[in-house]
Amino acid sequence: MSTAEYDRLRAAHLSAVQGALDDHVNRLDWSAERIREHRDSRLRSLLGYARERSMFYRERLRGIDVDAVTVADLGSIPMLTKAEAQGDWDAIVTTPGLDRAGAERILSEQDWFSYTPGDQQVFSSGGSSGVRGVYVWDWDFFITAACLAWRVQAGAERGGAVPNARLAVLTAGVPPHASTPLFAVPTSRGMDIAVIEAGAPFDDVLAAVAAYDPTHLVGYPSVIGRLARAALAGDLGIRPVRVSTNSEPLLPEDRDAIVGAWNCPLHNLWGSTELGVQAVGCGRGSGLHICEDEVILERVDASGGPVPDDEPAARTLATGLSNRTFPFIRYDLGDEITMLQEPCACGSAFARVADVSGRHDDDFAYGPNTVPASAFRHVLGTDPRIVEYQVRQTERGADVLVVADSDVRALGAALVEAMQRYGVTHPTVRVRGVDTIDRNEASGKLKRFVRLVP
C-alpha cells in the first residue's frame, strides 16, 4: 500500500471516529444498570460470532448457551494465555484468507502503517512482558479503541474547545506499534497534530516539543514526566491545558512532576495491543474508570476462579467486546489491578481501578524469594536527582542504570537493604550513571525492569 493510499483510508477512518465519538461521550453518563445491560448484550453477540467464525472458539465454547450467557457465567470458559493466542493464531482469527504468515508478511514489507484489502491493520508488539506478539485490528475495532481513548478528554472540552489546539504525540512514531495510529487522533475540529518520536535522544525530544508548543500532550509517562521535570527546572516553557499518558505505568514521581509543572487535567490510560483500551482516568478523581461498555475485566485466582474486590488476585483476565476479527475472551493480561470502591468525584457509574503500577512480570525472583518492582521504585523513584532509571536483574542482585543530575552510586546500599527485606541474603547491586537508556526500537517504550533470562 502506498503512503497516499494509506493517508486516504486513514482520513476516512478518522472521520468515522469523529462520527462515533459523540455516542461514546454520551455513554459516560450511563447508569450502572444500563452499562450492565449493554455489556451482557455485547458479550452474547461476541460469543455467538466467535463460535461461528473461529475454529478455536468453536471448540472452546462448546456446551455454552451463548444466547443466555452473562458476565457472571464467564468463569465456565477457560482463560486464554498469550502463548495460546500467538500459537493458535490461525485457528482464532475469524476472517477467511487472513493468517499468521500473511500478517507477518505485511509487517515485513510495509515501510509505513498500512491496511489490508479487508481494511484491517496489523501490529506487532513486545508488550510489557517482552514477548513478541502479532495482532490484527479490524475497521470497527479501531474506531471503538480510539473513542475509548479520547472520549473523556473530548467530553471535558465539549462546548469549550481550545483555540488553535496542537496535540503533540510522544510515542513510537514508526511501525509496527499501534500507539501512533491510536493516539494521533484529533478530538476537536481543526486540531493540529505532531508526532514526536519518544525514543529519540531526549535533547531532540525537548527541542521538538518546545518548538511545537503544544496545547495538548499525549504519550509515554516516562517521557512526559521527564519533560515536566525540565519545565520545573526552567528548561521548557510550554503550558499544555491537558495531558494524557499511556502505554507504561504512570509512576508517582512522574505524576507529581506533571501536576507540579502544569497543574492541568491529567488523564492516565491503561491499554494493551490485544484489547486496545481497558481503562481511562477522568482527570478529577483518582484511579482509572474501566471501559465496561467494551471491556470486561475479571480478577481471578491461580485457577481462574473469581476473587472478591477486597482480596488479592493472582491475575487479571480481559474480554474485549469489539474486535470480531481476532477475539480475546478471558485473556490473561498479567497486570495487577486494585478495585476502588468509593464514588468518584466526577460522578461516573463506570467502575474504577487504581492506577496500574506494573505486572507480576516486573517482579524479580531469587530462588524462593521474590522482590517486587515497588521495592526498587521506592528508592529510585523518590530520589529527585534521578531523571530515568532501569533495573536489570542479575543472578545475585541487580544492575541499575540511571540518568541523574549527580552521582547516585551511594543508592546501592539502600537498594541492597530493600532486597534484604524480601529475604535475599547478601545481594549485589551496582548503580551506574549513563547519559541515556535505550528504549524498545519498535515501540519507543522504556522497560524499567528487565528480568534475568534463565
CA–CA gap between residue 182 and residue 276 (Å, rounded): 9
**H helices within 110-165, ranges in order?**
139-156
Q: Dihedral angle at the C-alpha atoms of 299, 377, 450, 228, nearest 10 degrees?
A: 100
CA–CA gap between residue 454 and residue 451 (Å, rounded): 9
Identity at 215, one-letter amino acid code: T
Local structure of residue 74 (DSSP, 8 states): G
Domains identified in the chain and CATH numbers: 363-450 (3.30.300.30)
Element (H, E) at 38: helix 32-53
pLDDT in tens, 96-120: 999 999 998 998 888 889 999 999 9
Q: What is the pLDDT of residue 285?
A: 87
Identity at 19, one-letter amino acid code: G
Q: Is 193 helix (H, G, I), strand (E, B) or coil?
A: strand
CA–CA gap between residue 152 and residue 102 (Å, rounded): 36
pLDDT in tens, 376-395: 877 886 676 887 889 999 99
pLDDT in tens, 407-416: 888 899 999 9
Local structure of residue 409 (DSSP, 8 states): T
pLDDT in tens, 12-58: 999 999 999 999 999 999 999 999 999 999 999 999 999 999 999 99
Contact yes or no for 272/291 (Cβ under 8 A): no
Please tell me the least confidently modeled range out of 22-26, 82-86, 130-134, 351-355: 130-134
Element (H, E) at 353: strand 352-353
Identity at 9, one-letter amino acid code: L
CA–CA gap between residue 373 and residue 384 (Å, rounded): 19
Which residues is 26 bridged to in the sheet? none
Element (H, E) at 239: none
Q: How many alpha carbons fall within 13 Å on the CB side of residue 5?
A: 11
From first CA to last CA, the distance across the chain in angstroms is 41
Which has the higher per-residue pLDDT, 313 or 167?
167
CA–CA gap between residue 132 and residue 13 (Å, rounded): 27
Average pLDDT in the 132-150 region?
Answer: 94
Which has the higher per-residue pLDDT, 315 or 210?
210
Local structure of residue 283 (DSSP, 8 states): S
pLDDT at 129 over 60: no
What does residue 336 show for φ and ψ, rounded to 5 degrees? -95, 130
**H helices within 271-348, ranges in order?**
none
What proportion of the chain, given as a percentage, has pLDDT over 70? 95
pLDDT band at 443 (very low <50, low <70, confident <90, very high): low
User: Which grid cell is 96?
Assistant: 477467511
Q: Is 307 helix (H, G, I), strand (E, B) or coil?
A: coil
Please tell me the least confidently modeled range out of 154-168, 182-196, 286-300: 154-168
pLDDT in tens, 323-368: 999 999 999 987 778 899 899 999 999 999 988 765 556 788 999 8
CB neighbours (10 Å) of residue 438?
A: 11
User: Which grid cell is 409?
Assistant: 552510586
Contact yes or no for 440/381 (Cβ under 8 A): no
